[in-house]
Amino acid sequence: MNRVLELQDITKVFHLGSMISRLRITAVDHVSFHVGSAEIFGLAGESGCGKTTIARMILGFEEPTSGQIIYRKKDGTPVTGKEVWRTAGVQAVFQNPFETFNPLRQVERYFFEAVHNFRLASSHSEAVARINKALEAVGLSYKEIAGRYPAEFSGGQLQRVSIARSLLTEPSLLIADEPVSMVDASIRMSIMNLFRELVEKFGVSVLYITHDLATAYYVCDRIAIMLRGNIVAMGDVEKVLVKPRHPYVELLRECIPETDPRKRWAAKVQLAESEQEEYLRAGCKFAGRCPHVMERCQRESPKDILVDGVLVKCFLYS
Ligand SMILES: Nc1ncnc2c1ncn2[C@@H]1O[C@H](COP(=O)(O)OP(=O)(O)O)[C@@H](O)[C@H]1O
Ligand SMILES: [Mg+2]
């Protein structure tokens, strides 16, 4: 499988507090994964585990402290750093479409602006045709958005509009950071289905970032589960979630009612310690909450190990 995106041993350290009480948080800790062509790869975990930091580094908004991120264009040319954002081959879909668009601007302005910036058309009618094509891919049309302001759309519609805009440049990769968490539960699935359709029709790849295991299970091909900057389990979504190997994944799974996989991941999993304390912990970050904790988990960080095709970071298997 071709790799559209590859993260190689990515670390991001943030410095918090004043110069005197310097606190270092390793928000992303030696993370490696790839997104294949025409696949939906999930990056899931509780809030504060480092997901958005990863998205921002991929888009070039934030520089990794160490490691490399490589995006491959359709012709195979590798691109890294800030260049990624400029290729137009990678586009982002954000959490809140009402923040993506200025309430005082007609949404079509954003489309014409993108057509202009990326030189996608040489006449007005060509631009409209291009815009209409992108909107049709999400089940809308130019007629339906022409002259309208963001407030005239529902959250779900506006998220579709935002996805259409990201499709204008015919990207090969969409970075979708919590794209449905602000959208009504009733239409969340239709947006998930839309991502699947885009993959099948246009061969787009999607990095689907979420704190919601249920939608991730519904839509992803492969998934990585993050805990405090570490990927603790990664592989085929069925293998990772249905027969969890890592105790953390087991705990997360208990929060989804089995009978209805579309229900949201229940409230945040009970924290044994504060987010920051867990980040600063030596050894396995899950040791404070793990029912299987052993003495070495408190001291050493477990290495990745392959268990039945799933990458697992846990001493239970070494
Ligand atoms: N610019 C920043 N400066 C300092 N700390 C940050 C910054 N961005 C994120 N963090 C910290 O990094 C950790 C991961 O955050 P984030 O990537 O936003 O997680 P998620 O998207 O999974 O909720 C959190 O502890 C957060 O407070
Ligand atoms: Mg986030």
Q: What domains does the chain contain, in order, with CATH numbers?
A: 3-89+169-244 (3.40.50.300)
Q: How far does residue 314's CA lie from ligand 1's centre (Å)?
A: 24
Position 56 confidence tier, pLDDT thresholds 50, 70, 90: very high
For residues 62-87, give the mean pLDDT. 91
Least confident residue range of 48-62, 85-99, 245-259, 292-306: 245-259
Nearest residue (by CA) to ligand 1, atom 2, is 14
Q: Which atom of ligand 1 is closest in space to residue 28's alpha carbon?
A: 14
| CB of residue 89 inside a 6 A radius of ligand 1 | no
CA distances from 61 to 77, 82, 92, 144, 174 (A): 21, 7, 12, 33, 15
Least confident residue range of 40-49, 158-167, 205-214, 279-288: 279-288
Among 27, 4, 12, which Cα is nearest to 67's?
A: 12
Report, in this order, helix, strand and coil percent for the chain, each rounded to 5: 35, 25, 40
Among 225, 307, 207, which Cα is nearest to 265's?
A: 225
Strand order in the sheet with 222-227: 90-93, 173-177, 205-210, 40-44, 222-227, 230-236, 310-313, 304-307
**pLDDT score for 258:** 43
Ligand closest to the CA atom of residue 226: 1
CA distances from 277 to 15, 25, 271 (A): 15, 10, 10
Angle between helix 185-202 and 155-167 (nearest 10)? 20
**pLDDT score for 257:** 46
Question: Can you say how many angstroms the Cα of residue 109 is from the centroid of all Cα atoms in its chain?
Answer: 27
**pLDDT score for 273:** 62
| CB of residue 23 inside a 6 A radius of ligand 1 | no
DSSP state of 242: H
| CB of residue 311 inside a 6 A radius of ligand 1 | no
Residue-wise pLDDT tens digits, 207-226: 999 999 999 999 999 999 99
| Gap between the Cα atoms of 179 and 191, Å rounded | 9
Is the predicted pLDDT of residue 83 greater than 70, yes or no?
yes
